[in-house]
Each structure stands twice: as C-alpha cells, then as structure tokens.
C-alpha cells in the first residue's frame, strides 16, 4: 500500500498574552527547531485563505521540538491570528527558516538592543552571543512597564541589562538610544551593537553608535511576499545598493541603511491595509449581529473574541512604540 505523506500539523502548544496586542505562540515543529538559527524568520499562513506574513523566530527549543513566535496585532492578519490561534489549534502553513542567520562571530563585548516588539527577535541573538562566550549587555525598551515582557529571559543570558521606558515606569526614563549611550559610557571596548525594533528606533541606534565607529547591525522589516528573493517587494537600499531583505538579510549594517526609503516603502499600502481591516471588522460585526439577534441568543452565545476585537485600541498605535 502506498505510504501516505502526513502534512505537518504546526500545532500551537502554548500561548501567552503579554498585553492587549502582543502574544506569543509556541509551535510544535521539531525540524524547524533543529534548523533555526538566531536572526531567521518564517512565513506563516494562519488559514488556507490567509495572507502570508513574515514573523521572526523569537525562540527555539531543539529538545522540545518547538519554535516560538511573538506577534503584535497591528492589522487584519495579525488580529485574525490573535482570535484564532488558541492552544490546541494549528497554523495552516509555516515555511522557513528563512533569511541569513545572524553572524555571532568573534565579538567579545556586544550590546543587544530590542525596542517594543523587537525585544522578542533580539532574544535568540543575545542568547547566541552568550553561548559564543561574549560579554552581553541587553538594552530593552518599552513605552511603559505594562508592556514589558521577557525581562527574566534576558536576565538569564545577559551580563548586564539596561531597561528603558518612555515614561520612566521601569528602569531608566528614556529611549533605547539613551540605554546604548549609557552602555558605551561604561564600556569603551564594545565590539558590536545589534538593534531590532521599529525603523525609526533602529535609525536612532545607528546614529548613537556612528560617532564611536562601533559596528551596528539592524534587522530590517520591509514588506515581504514570497520571502525567497523572487518578488522584489522587500528591496532595501544599503550603502546605495539595492538588496533583498529576505535573502540578503534581514540583518544589515545600520550605518549603511537608507532608513527614510525603508519607512516610505512601509507606508505604501496603508490605504488597502486599512480597507482590509475595516472589511474584516465589519464581517465580525455582522457575525456578532447575526448571533446576537438569534431567537435563542443571549450574551452567552456572543463569541467573546469578536466582542474583544471591537474594543481593541488603535491597531497602529502599538507599532509606533518602542
Ligand atoms: C523579516 C520580518 C520579520 C518580522 N517579524 C515579526 C515578528 O516577529 N512579530 C510581528 O508581530 N511582526 C513581525 N513582522 C511584521 C509583520 O510581518 C507584519 O506586522 C504583518 O505582516 C502585518 O500584517 P497585518 O495584516 O496584521 O497588518 P497590515 O494592516 O497588513 O499591515 C500593518 C503594517 O505591517 C507591515 N506589513 C504588512 N504586511 C506585511 C508583510 N507582508 N511583510 C512585512 N510587513 C508587513 C506594514 O508596515 C504595515 O503598514 C516582521 C516583518 C519582517 C519583514
Ligand atoms: S519577499 Fe519577495 S524578494 Fe524578498
């Protein structure tokens, strides 16, 4: 009898909600866990008709055969995942690991900087540098204490940890660029700074290190479609040359990145993204209405997730943070 190929299930084993908009998913995928390296990403489809979205591998556990993704619900697909990705369910597709792994190289003293959601993807790099014997200084930035996550994981792999919040509710009051300046003041022998977060934050980090001529690596997040170098959607300008972030990156020399070009390209699809979000929200409202006007209906038949969705804050607000 012919052997039937079993499709891997990509089952969600754990979920943790860090805030109203940020959540982590631990996914069963032993092959991916074995192959993943710090700095790489996956492309996810949450259901058969879902959009393909790139997400960084925020953690992997080779023994347990799991990979961890940390997602910020900013638009239609990530909000849809926030509703549907429960423990025991499965993603429809998960492709990767993609991108060039971050070179953990020979640096002896490194500053790993994560701003907002960027805290998640910088974690495997901080751990990787530590495993390679480097002295690791973590600099983590959040808008406020309430949005903080994974400080314990960083404490376990960093020799020093500088927490920054915009409002001073935890750690120092200031941005991660202030944290970098503090680290440089205390350590004139820093070999490398690695920064992940919103483009405006990575630009500020690159400017903080430029006068000191410290090697600065940033992880770019342009729009991606195929993730394999074929569509050209993810092109970025590095030192005047065009590169594709999905196959040449996503890590690049922060002093060479044209951040203004990156930020303007990221804004290109704001109108259709808003339309997709509105159409989806309207669909949820309709479903809500149908359920609530059912003869048997009462609050007990209202899907809680749909009600929650309508109460979520501005989807773009959190993405601006860090
Ligand atoms: C290499 C890489 C790693 C990433 N890692 C993470 C991660 O670990 N966690 C996380 O929450 N987000 C990550 N992102 C961003 C994530 O892919 C987008 O937030 C997501 O695609 C938004 O889709 P949406 O439908 O929810 O929102 P939309 O409303 O469609 O878009 C909201 C914003 O997200 C960005 N975006 C939209 N579509 C894409 C796309 N196809 N590719 C890249 N950016 C897009 C744009 O800036 C857009 O304005 C990563 C992006 C890249 C390129
Ligand atoms: S995502 Fe298509 S070329 Fe990079």
User: Does any ligand 1 atom lie closer than 6 A to the CB of residue 22?
Assistant: no
Name the residue among 289, 281, 286 with its Cα closest to residue 314: 281
Pocket test for ligand 2, best of 53, 220, 224 (most atoms within 8 A of CB): 224
Pocket test for ligand 1, best of 19, 54, 228 (most atoms within 8 A of CB): 54
Full strand arrangement of the beta sheet holding 12-17: 12-17, 22-28, 66-72, 59-61
User: Is residue 13 classed as helix, strand or coil in its secondary structure?
Assistant: strand
Say if residue 256's pLDDT is above 60.
yes
User: Does any ligand 2 atom lie closer than 6 A to the CB of residue 52?
Assistant: no
User: 49 falls in which pLDDT band (50, 70, 90)?
Assistant: confident
pLDDT of 179-214, one tens digit each?
999 999 999 999 999 999 999 999 999 999 999 999
- For the CA of 246, the closest atom of ligand 2 is 4
What span, in angstroms and rounded, lies between the C-alpha atoms of 167 and 143? 7
Say if residue 221's pLDDT is above 60.
yes
Pocket test for ligand 2, best of 55, 220, 246 (most atoms within 8 A of CB): 246
Phi (first) and psi of residue 267, to 5 degrees: -90, -5
What span, in angstroms and rounded, lies between the C-alpha atoms of 27 and 49? 20
Contact between 72 and 156 (Cβ < 8 Å) = no
pLDDT computed for residue 104 by the predictor: 82
User: Does any ligand 2 atom lie closer than 6 A to the CB of residue 234?
Assistant: yes
Dist. CA 53 → ligand 1 center (Å): 6
User: Does any ligand 2 atom lie closer than 6 A to the CB of residue 226?
Assistant: yes
User: 50 falls in which pLDDT band (50, 70, 90)?
Assistant: confident
First to last CA, the chain: 56
Reduced DSSP (H G I as helix, E B as strand, rest coil) percent helix, strand, coil of the chain, to 5: 35, 25, 40
- For the CA of 54, the closest atom of ligand 2 is 1
Say if residue 37's pLDDT is above 50.
yes
pLDDT of 73-86, one tens digit each?
988 899 999 999 99
Whole-model pTM: value is 0.82
| CA dihedral angle for residue 223, residue 228, residue 232, residue 237, rounded to 10 degrees | 70
User: 321 falls in which pLDDT band (50, 70, 90)?
Assistant: very low
Say if residue 12's pLDDT is above 90.
yes
Q: Please name the residues in contact with 23: beta carbons below 8 A apart, sequence gap of 6 or more.
A: 15, 16, 17, 70, 71, 73, 82, 85
Mean pLDDT (the chain, rounded) = 85
DSSP label at 313? -
What's the average model confidence in pLDDT over 307-319? 40
Q: Which two three-digit tokens encode residue 151?
A: 């400080």
User: Does any ligand 1 atom lie closer than 6 A to the CB of residue 21?
Assistant: no
Q: Which two three-digit tokens encode residue 64?
A: 């347990």
- For the CA of 247, the closest atom of ligand 2 is 4
- Report in angstroms the alpha-carbon separations of 145 from 60, 102, 228, 302: 26, 29, 38, 33
Ligand 2, atom 3, lies closest to the CA of: 229
What span, in angstroms and rounded, lies between the C-alpha atoms of 198 and 241? 22
- Report in angstroms the alpha-carbon separations of 17 from 70, 108, 194: 9, 35, 26
User: Does any ligand 1 atom lie closer than 6 A to the CB of residue 55?
Assistant: yes
Match 């891997």 to its residue by tokens: 8
What span, in angstroms and rounded, lies between the C-alpha atoms of 179 and 192? 14
Ligand 1, atom 37, lies closest to the CA of: 223
Q: Which ligand is nearest to the CA of 263?
A: 1
User: 318 falls in which pLDDT band (50, 70, 90)?
Assistant: very low
What's the average model confidence in pLDDT over 269-277? 63
């Amino acid at each position: 009898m012919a052997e039937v190929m079993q499709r891997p299930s990509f089952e969600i084993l754990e979920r943790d909600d860090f805030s109203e908009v940020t959540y982590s998913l631990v996914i069963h995928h032993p092959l991916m866990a074995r192959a993943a390296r710090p700095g790489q990403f996956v492309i996810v489809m949450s259901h058969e008709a879902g959009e393909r979205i790139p997400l960084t591998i925020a953690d992997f556990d080779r023994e347990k055969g799991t990979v961890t993704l940390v997602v910020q619900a900013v638009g239609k697909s990530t909000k849809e995942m926030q509703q549907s990705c429960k423990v025991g369910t499965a993603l429809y597709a998960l492709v990767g690991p993609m991108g060039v792994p971050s070179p953990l190289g020979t640096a002896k003293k490194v500053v790993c900087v994560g701003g907002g959601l960027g805290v998640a993807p910088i974690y495997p790099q901080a751990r990787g540098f530590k495993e390679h014997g480097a002295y690791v200084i973590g600099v983590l930035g959040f808008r406020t204490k309430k949005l903080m996550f994974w400080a314990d994981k960083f404490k376990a792999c960093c020799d020093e940890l500088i927490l920054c919040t915009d409002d001073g509710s935890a750690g120092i009051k200031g941005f991660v660029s202030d944290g970098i300046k503090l680290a440089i003041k205390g350590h004139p022998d820093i070999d490398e700074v690695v920064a992940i977060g919103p483009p405006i934050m990575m630009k500020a980090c690159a400017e903080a290190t430029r006068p000191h001529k410290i090697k600065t690596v940033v992880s770019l997040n342009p729009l991606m479609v195929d993730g394999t170098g074929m569509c050209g959607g993810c092109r970025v300008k590095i030192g005047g040359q065009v590169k594709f972030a999905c196959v040449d990156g996503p890590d690049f020399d922060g002093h060479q990145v044209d951040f203004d070009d990156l930020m303007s390209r990221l804004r290109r699809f704001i109108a259709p993204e808003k339309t997709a979000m509105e159409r989806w929200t309207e669909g949820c409202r309709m479903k809500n209405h149908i359920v609530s006007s059912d003869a048997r209906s009462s609050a007990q038949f209202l899907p809680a997730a749909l009600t929650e969705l309508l109460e979520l804050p501005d989807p773009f607000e959190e993405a601006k943070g860090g």
